[in-house]
C-alpha cells in the first residue's frame, strides 16, 4: 500500500510540475521497500541462504545512490507486490492438534463398591474400575471385567468392522464402546495409555517436518552472482555507475518473486474448485514432486462402512427369509452390523417384523422373538460343528477377510449374512491415473488384518502392503519411505494422523466433517471421492511446472534486458518499465495454472450422463439376481439336485427377462456414447467381448434349465457343466459390473464440486 501510494503520488506531483516533491514521494516509496527487503536478506543469510532478494536490495540502494528515484519506486512496488503474493501463497496453515486432544475424554466414571463417581481422567490410577457407557470413548487402557463387549477400534486400527472382546482381554484407550456399558480395570494411567501416545506421536512428527524451500531460491545460487558480476562489468566498461544500476533494475527478480507464487496460488484456486483444500503453496509444491504414495485402507480405498456382501442359506430357506429374520432380530440394535443387515433387508423391498423379548449379548449378537420364532443373529454357535454349507461360508469369509453374522431360527442354523467393507468404485481408475501422473510406488498401510488388506492390494496392483500396523508402526513406515523419495500419505482416521504428519505431505479424506486427520494434513479432500487424490496431484504437478516455466521465462527475458542495460541501451527508469512488461507476461503465463490440467478422461455429454445414471441404477437392482446365480450353484454343489430346479428356473427367468435386456441396452445405447469421453470406440471393445461371453453362458444355462424342467431334476451327468456355467456366469458378471462401475460410471462429474 505504501509503495503504490508513493509511486502514484510522485507521478501526480510530476504531472503538476513539482519535480522535487515527486522525487520525495518516490524516495519515500523506495526506502519503505528497502528497509524490510534488507531485513529479509539478513534473515536469509542468518539461516544460511542466499536469496534473490539480495538483488532487489542492491538495486534499491543503487537507484537512491545515483538519483534514479522513479526507478527505485517502481522496483519497490514490484517487490512489495511480489512479496504479498508469495506470502499469500506460501503461508503455512497451523497444524492444529485440537481435534486429537478434544477427542480425549476429560472425565470418567469410577466404581468403588456400589458407589459410582465421576472423576477427572487424569486422576485414574492403575487398578481403578472404570465404567464406559455405550458410544463413549475408552479413557484409559484397561482389562474387561464382568462381561464381554463390542468396540469400534477404527480410531486406532482403521478397521471399520466392530470387534468383540471377551472378559479378561485388554482394551486400548481411544476406542469407542459400540455395545452395552462395560467395566474396565485400568492397566495404565491416562498419560501412559495408547491414545495419549498417538497425540504425542503426531506432535513429534509435526516437529520434525522440514519447510519447503521457495522455488525462486533454487535459482539464486547462480543468478545472484551472475547479476552482480555483470553489473560490475557494465560499470567498469561504461565508466558510470548508472549502467550498473540499470543492470540491477532489470535484474530485479520480480519474475521469480511473482511468477512462482501466482502459479502456485492459481493451482490452489483450481484445486479448491474440485473440493481439494491445499493449505499452503509449500504443500502444493511438495505434492507436485511426490513419487511415492502411502495410503490407508478403511475409509480411503474402501467405503469405510460394512455392507451385506452375500447371503447363504441352509436347505429349506430362501435368501429373503434369512435376511428378513436377521433384520427383524437386529431391528433395534445400534451395532454397525445390525444397521447393515437392516439396510440390506430394506433394499430388497422387505419389511422386518417387530421383535419382542430382545436381548443383546455384547460380542456375540442379538436374540429376539420374531413372529413366534426365536431368532438369534451374530456369532452364536460359531464354535460348534457346522454343516458343510456353513463350513464353506466360514472358510470363504476367512479367505476374503469378511465378517459373518450367523442366523439361527428356533435353535437351527438357518443361514448366514457375510458383511464386507467394499472397495471404492473409483479406486482402480485412480491408481492408474496416479501411476500415469508420475507416482512410481504405491503402498497400502493399514491396521486391518492381512487377508482383508491383501485382497485390496491384489485388486489394485499395489507395490507393497503392510497390515496390522499400529499408529507408531505407520509413522515408521512413512518415514522409511520418505527417506527414499518424496512421499504422500492418504488417510481419514485418528489413527492415521501421526503418519499424515510424518509424510512430506499428508492428504486427508474429510467428507464427513472435521477430523483429527483433516487438522494434521496439508491437503484435505472435502468430497468423498478417492479420485480427487489424482486430481490434486495433477493440479500440483502442472502448477509447479508452470511456476518453474514462468520463472525461467522471466529470467531469460531479464538476462536479455540486462545485456541491453550493460551496453547502455536501457536507462534505469526505462529498464524498470520493461521489467514491469516482463512481469505481466510471466504472470499471464502463470495464470494458466487456473485451467484444469489435462486428463485421461473427458466429460460425458448430457445424454451420456443420463445413460450412465440409468445403468448405474439398474446395476443396483440386478445385484440380487446375480447373487442368486451363486446360490443356485451352491445348491447343486451340495447335492440338492431337486431343490436346484426351482432355483435354476428362477435364475434363468432373471437372466432372460432382466439381465440380458440390460446388457443389450448397454451395448446399443451406452457404449456408443462413451466413445468421445474415452477417446475412441475401441475403448469399450473388451467390455463388448464380455457381453458376448455373457450371452454364450446365458444360452448354455437356458438349455440346461429346459432339460432339467423336462426331467423334473438335474441329470447327474449335467451337474459338472452346469456348475461351470453358473459359477462362470456369476464371476463374469461380478467382474463386468465392477469394470463398468470403475471405468465408466465414474466418468460422471462430481455434483458437489464446482468444476
Check residue 216 and give its pLDDT: 54
Question: What are the 10-residue block averages of pLDDT along the chain, 755 residues in total?
Answer: 70 73 74 71 65 66 69 68 54 42 79 87 89 88 84 64 77 83 88 70 45 50 73 77 76 62 74 74 84 87 78 84 91 81 85 88 81 86 74 79 86 88 78 86 85 79 86 88 91 78 85 57 77 87 82 78 80 73 73 62 78 89 86 76 76 92 90 80 80 87 85 79 89 88 76 41
The residues with which 310 forms a beta bridge, in sequence order, are 418
**Three-state DSSP class for residue 403:** strand
Q: Give the per-residue pLDDT at 154.
A: 65
Backbone angles phi, psi at 408, to 5 degrees: -110, 135
Show Cβ contacts of residue 686 under 8 Å, excluding neighbours closer than 6 positions.
none
Residues 6+ apart with CB under 8 A from 169: 143, 144
pLDDT at residue number 497: 79
**CATH architecture assigned to 273-303+424-538:** 3-Layer(aba) Sandwich (3.40)
The pTM for the full model equals: 0.60
C-alpha to C-alpha distance for 97 and 499, rounded to whole angstroms:
13
**N residues, the chain:** 755
CB-based contacts of 581, cutoff 8 Å, min separation 6: none
Angle (nearest 5°) at CA 552 between 551 and 558: 90
CATH class of this structure's domain 307-420: alpha beta
Catalytic site residues?
296
Name the CATH topology of 98-203: 2.70.150
533 Cβ contact list (under 8 Å, min separation 6):
293, 430, 434, 490, 507, 525
Distances (CA, A) of 633 to 74, 319, 647, 712: 82, 14, 9, 17
Burial class (CB in 10 A: 0-12, 13-18, 19+), 17: exposed
Amino acid at each position: 500500500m505504501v509503495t503504490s501510494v508513493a509511486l502514484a503520488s510522485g507521478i501526480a506531483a510530476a504531472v503538476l510540475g513539482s519535480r522535487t516533491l515527486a522525487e520525495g514521494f518516490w524516495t519515500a516509496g523506495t526506502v519503505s521497500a528497502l528497509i524490510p527487503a534488507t531485513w529479509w536478506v539478513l534473515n536469509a543469510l542468518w539461516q544460511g541462504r542466499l536469496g534473490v532478494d539480495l538483488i532487489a536490495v542492491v538495486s534499491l540502494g543503487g537507484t537512491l545512490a545515483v538519483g534514479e528515484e522513479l526507478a527505485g519506486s517502481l522496483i519497490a512496488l514490484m517487490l512489495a507486490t511480489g512479496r504479498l503474493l508469495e506470502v499469500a501463497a506460501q503461508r503455512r496453515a497451523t497444524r492444529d492438534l485440537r481435534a486429537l486432544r478434544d477427542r480425549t475424554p476429560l472425565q470418567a466414571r469410577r466404581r468403588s463398591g456400589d458407589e459410582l463417581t465421576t472423576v477427572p481422567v487424569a486422576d485414574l490410577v492403575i487398578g481403578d474400575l472404570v465404567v464406559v457407557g455405550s458410544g463413549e470413548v475408552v479413557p484409559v487402557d484397561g482389562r474387561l471385567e464382568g462381561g464381554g463387549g463390542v468396540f469400534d477400534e477404527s480410531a486406532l486400527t482403521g478397521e471399520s468392522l466392530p470387534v468383540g472382546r471377551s472378559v479378561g482381554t485388554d482394551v486400548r484407550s481411544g476406542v469407542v464402546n459400540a455395545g452395552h456399558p462395560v467395566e474396565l480395570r485400568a492397566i495404565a494411567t491416562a498419560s501412559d495409555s495408547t491414545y495419549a501416545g498417538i497425540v504425542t506421536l503426531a506432535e513429534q512428527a509435526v516437529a520434525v517436518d522440514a519447510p519447503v524451500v521457495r522455488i525462486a531460491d533454487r535459482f539464486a545460487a547462480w543468478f545472484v552472482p551472475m547479476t552482480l558480476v555483470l553489473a560490475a562489468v557494465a560499470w567498469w566498461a561504461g565508466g558510470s555507475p548508472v549502467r550498473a544500476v540499470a543492470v540491477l533494475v532489470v535484474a530485479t527478480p520480480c519474475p521469480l518473486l511473482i511468477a512462482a507464487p501466482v502459479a502456485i496460488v492459481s493451482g490452489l484456486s483450481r484445486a479448491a474448485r474440485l473440493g481439494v483444500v491445499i493449505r499452503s503453496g509449500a504443500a502444493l509444491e511438495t505434492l507436485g514432486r511426490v513419487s511415492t504414495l502411502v495410503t490407508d485402507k478403511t475409509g480411503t480405498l474402501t467405503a469405510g462402512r460394512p455392507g451385506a456382501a452375500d447371503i447363504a442359506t441352509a436347505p429349506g430357506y430362501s435368501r429373503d427369509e434369512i435376511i428378513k429374520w436377521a433384520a427383524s432380530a437386529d431391528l433395534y440394535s445400534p451395532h454397525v452390523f445390525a444397521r447393515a443387515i437392516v439396510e440390506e433387508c430394506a433394499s430388497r423391498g422387505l419389511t422386518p417384523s417387530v421383535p419382542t423379548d430382545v436381548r443383546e449379548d455384547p460380542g456375540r449378537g442379538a436374540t429376539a422373538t420374531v413372529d413366534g420364532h426365536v431368532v438369534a443373529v451374530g456369532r452364536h454357535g460359531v464354535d460348534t460343528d457346522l454343516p458343510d454349507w456353513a463350513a464353506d461360508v466360514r472358510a470363504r469369509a476367512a479367505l476374503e477377510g469378511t465378517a459373518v453374522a450367523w442366523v439361527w431360527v428356533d435353535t437351527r442354523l438357518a443361514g448366514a449374512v457375510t458383511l464386507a467393507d467394499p472397495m471404492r468404485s473409483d479406486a482402480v481408475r485412480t491408481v492408474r491415473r496416479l501411476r500415469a501422473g508420475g507416482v512410481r510406488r504405491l503402498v497400502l498401510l493399514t491396521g486391518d488384518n492381512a487377508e482383508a488388506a491383501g485382497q485390496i492390494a491384489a485388486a489394485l496392483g499395489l507395490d507393497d502392503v503392510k497390515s496390522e500396523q499400529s499408529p507408531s508402526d505407520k509413522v515408521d513406515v512413512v518415514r522409511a519411505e520418505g527417506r527414499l523419495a518424496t512421499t504422500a500419505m492418504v488417510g481419514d482416521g485418528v489413527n492415521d494422523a501421526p503418519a499424515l504428519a510424518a509424510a512430506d505431505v499428508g492428504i486427508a479424506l474429510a467428507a464427513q466433517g472435521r477430523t483429527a486427520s483433516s487438522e494434521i494434513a496439508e491437503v484435505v479432500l472435502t468430497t468423498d471421492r478417492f479420485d480427487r487424490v489424482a486430481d490434486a496431484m495433477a493440479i500440483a504437478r502442472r502448477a509447479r511446472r508452470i511456476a518453474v516455466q514462468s520463472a525461467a521465462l522471466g529470467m531469460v527475458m531479464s538476462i536479455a534486458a540486462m545485456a541491453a542495460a550493460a551496453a547502455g541501451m536501457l536507462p534505469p527508469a526505462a529498464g524498470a518499465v520493461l521489467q514491469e512488461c516482463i512481469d505481466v507476461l510471466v504472470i499471464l503465463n502463470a495464470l494458466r495454472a487456473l485451467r484444469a490440467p489435462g486428463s485421461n478422461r473427458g466429460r460425458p455429454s448430457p445424454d451420456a450422463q443420463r445413460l450412465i445414471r440409468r445403468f448405474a441404477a439398474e446395476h443396483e437392482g440386478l445385484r440380487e439376481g446375480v447373487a442368486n446365480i451363486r446360490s443356485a450353484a451352491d445348491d447343486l454343489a451340495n447335492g440338492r439336485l431337486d431343490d436346484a430346479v426351482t432355483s435354476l428356473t428362477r435364475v434363468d427367468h432373471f437372466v432372460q427377462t432382466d439381465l440380458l435386456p440390460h446388457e443389450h441396452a448397454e451395448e446399443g445405447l451406452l457404449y456408443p456414447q462413451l466413445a468421445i469421453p474415452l477417446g475412441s470406440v475401441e475403448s469399450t471393445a473388451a467390455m463388448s467381448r464380455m457381453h458376448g461371453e455373457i450371452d454364450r453362458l446365458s444360452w448354455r444355462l437356458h438349455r440346461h434349465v429346459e432339460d432339467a424342467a423336462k426331467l423334473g431334476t438335474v441329470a447327474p451327468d449335467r451337474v459338472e457343466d452346469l456348475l461351470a456355467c453358473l459359477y462362470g456366469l456369476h464371476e463374469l458378471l461380478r467382474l463386468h459390473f465392477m469394470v463398468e462401475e470403475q471405468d465408466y460410471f465414474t466418468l460422471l462429474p462430481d455434483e458437489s464440486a464446482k468444476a
